[in-house]
Amino acid sequence: MYDVIILGSGPAGLTAAIYCGRANKNTLVMGGDTLGGQTAGIAKLENYPGWRGSGLELIEFMRAQAESFGARVEMKTAAHITNGADGTFVITDAHNNKYETRSIILATGASPRKLEIAGAREFFGRGVSYCATCDGFFFTDKTVLVIGGGNSALNDALYLADIAKTVKIIYRKSSFTRAEGILRDRVAAKENIECVFNTELKSIASRPGSETGELIATTTNDEQIVCDGIFVAIGHEANTDYLTEDIKRDDMGRLAPGALPAGMFVAGDVHSDIKMQIATAVGTGCTAAMDAIAYLNKNAQ
C-alpha cells in the first residue's frame, strides 16, 4: 500500500515526488514510457529560472533529488484506475500489475497533437516527425518543413536550422502572434529559415522517382512543396485516456481539480486553465503534493 502514487515523470510529477518524499510519505512515481516527457526533448532550456542545461539534464537532476528523499521512480504506464477498499485506489499498469494507494497525483502531461491529413500517418517515421530533437540529425543538410506557429514550432525551426540546409515554417495565419518576441527575432535573423504564412497542408506523398525519399507536401491552394522531412508542432492534447469517462475533461483532455474525486490531485500540463510551461508545472506539482499530504494527514487522524 502506497501513501501516494504519482503518474508522470515530468517536472510536475518529480516536484510532487520531492515534496511527498520529504514528508515521509511512501511514494511511487509511475514514469510512463519516457522519463521526463516533453521536457526531456528540450536541447537548450532557457526559460526555467536557475537552469542553463538541457531539459533531460534537469529531469535527471530532479529524479535524483526525489529518490534521495525516498521516492521510487519506475518506468511503468498506468492503464486504468479503479476504486479500492476504504477510499483507496487501485492502479493497473500496462502489464496488468496492480498497485494500491491512498492518494493519486495525476501528472501525465500532454502529447503532440497529430496532423490529420492524407499521408501524415503513412509517412510517420518515414519523413514525418513530432520531435525535432529526436529526429533532426537524420535531415542534415536537407530541406525540412515545420508545421505550426507557436513557441514549440519556432524552437523546432531554430534547432533544425543548425542541422538542415533549409527550414520552411508553414503557418496557417498571417504572423506568429502566439510565439514569444525573442523567438520571432531569432527566426527572422536565421538566413536559412523561410516563413510561409496563410498556408495549410492538405496532403503528404512521396515524390515520384526520388531515390532519397523526398516528399511532396501539397497545400490547400494546390501548391506543391518538395522537402525531405516534415516536423509537426501544432499543439498538444492531455494524456488522460486511462481515466474513466465520468471524470470531466476540457476540449484538450485536461482536468479541473474541483472535478476530481477525493484523494485524487492534478499537476502539470494535464491541469486545466494554466499555461503549459515548466515553471507552472513545477508550481502545480508543489501544490498537488501539499494538498495530497494534507489529505493523507487528515485521514490518518
Residue where a domain stops, chosen among 232, 250, 277: 232
Same domain, 88 and 76: yes
Residue 119 lies in a domain: no
Helices (H) and strands (E) in the chain, counts: 6, 18
Residue 123 lies in a domain: no
Domain that holds residue 193: 128-232
Same domain, 245 and 228: no
Same domain, 13 and 107: yes
Same domain, 242 and 101: yes
Residue 26 lies in a domain: yes
For 150, 160, 184, 230, the CA distances from 201, given in Å and listed in that order, are 17, 20, 22, 11
Q: State residue 301's pLDDT score.
A: 66
| Cell representation of residue 225 | 512543396
Instruction: For residue 265, give the CATH number of its domain.
Output: 3.50.50.60
Burial of 84 (0-12, 13-18, 19+ CB in 10 A): middle
Residue where a domain stops, chosen among 232, 259, 281: 232
- What total of structural domains would you count in the chain? 2
Same domain, 201 and 157: yes
Same domain, 34 and 67: yes
Residue 274 lies in a domain: yes
**DSSP letters of 130-152?**
S-HHHHGGGGTTSEEEEE--SHH
Q: State residue 245's pLDDT score.
A: 84
Residue 116 lies in a domain: no
Q: State residue 45's pLDDT score.
A: 87
Same domain, 25 and 104: yes
Same domain, 107 and 197: no
Q: What percent of the chain has pLDDT over 90?
A: 77
Q: State residue 274's pLDDT score.
A: 80
Residue linked to cell 519523413: 127
Q: State residue 136's pLDDT score.
A: 93
| Cell representation of residue 38 | 516533453
Can you tell me the mean pLDDT for 95-114? 94
Q: pLDDT tens for residues 167-204? A: 999 999 999 998 999 999 999 999 999 999 999 999 99
Q: State residue 250's pLDDT score.
A: 83
Residue where a domain stops, chosen among 232, 254, 282: 232
- Catalytically active residues, by annotation: 131, 134-135
Q: How many CB atoms lie within 10 A of CB 237?
A: 16
Q: pLDDT tens for residues 91-103? A: 999 999 999 999 9
